[in-house]
Amino acid sequence: MEWREVVEHPSLKDLPFKIETNEWGKIMMCPASYTHGVYQGRIARLVGNLSKEGEISTECPVKTSKGTKVADVAWASPAFNKKHGVRKVELPESPEVVVEIESPSNSAAELEGKRLLYFEVGAKEFWLCDKDGNMRFFNSCGELKKSEFFGEFPGHIDIGVS
């Protein structure tokens, strides 16, 4: 199934799941949680506070060699947006920064696979927020001590008492 078909399919609207496709075009769904959404909102807000330009997207669909993956948060520079525009159903390349927030249904292998796929299609940084709010930052060469794009970004996202 092509991503446009997934987005426009009436039976898939308003599902409480994050939808992605695999390399064979099959739909994969991950249940959403309030905690996941809070991390997503806080990360997007923090990036927005640090970025004077560019666009922040939540639920950002990126076409990869293994289907459409949907980054929880993404940041794209003005140059990226000029090249691709913002009126897209799916991006043919990854924005510069993509963030995945670990869910109980994610395996370490799945998250590692997504990291590699995003770099394969142009990401400059991949951030991973674990279930406790600990942030890890990567470029295509490996793990970084801090983000090269947003060096002031915290290493931990606090959402208070669980």
Q: Is residue 161 part of a domain?
A: no
- pLDDT tens per residue, range 83-142: 999 888 899 999 999 999 998 878 899 999 999 999 999 999 999 999 999 999 999 999
Which of 13, 1, 123, 120 is CA-nearest to residue 60? 123
Contact 68, 20 (CB under 8 A): yes
Tell me if 28 is assigned to some domain.
Answer: no
The torsion angles phi and psi of 116, rounded to 5 degrees, stand at: -65, -40
Mean pLDDT across the chain: 89
113 within some domain: yes
Give the lowest-confidence range in 5-19, 67-81, 118-132: 5-19
- Is residue 153, in this structure, part of any structural domain at all? no
**Which has more pLDDT, 47 or 23?**
47
Instruction: Give the domain range for residue 133.
Output: 35-144
Residue 21 lies in a domain: no
* Contact (CB, 8 A) for 42 and 49: no
Query: What CATH number does residue 101 fall under?
Result: 3.90.1570.10
What is the β-pairing status of strands 55-64 and 27-31?
unpaired
Residue 3 belongs to some domain of the structure: no
- The answer to whether residue 9 is domain-embedded is no
pLDDT, residue 2, reads: 76
Residue 104 CA to its chain's centroid (Å): 16
Length of the chain: 162
H helical segments located in the chain:
3-8, 34-50, 78-84, 108-120
Domain assignment present for residue 19? The answer is: no
Asked if 125 and 148 count as a contact pair (C-beta separation under 8 A), the reply is yes
Q: Can you list the positions of beta strands (E) in the chain?
A: 17-21, 27-31, 55-64, 67-76, 97-101, 125-129, 135-139, 142-144
Q: How many domains does the chain have?
A: 1
The pLDDT, as a whole number, for residue 5 is 75
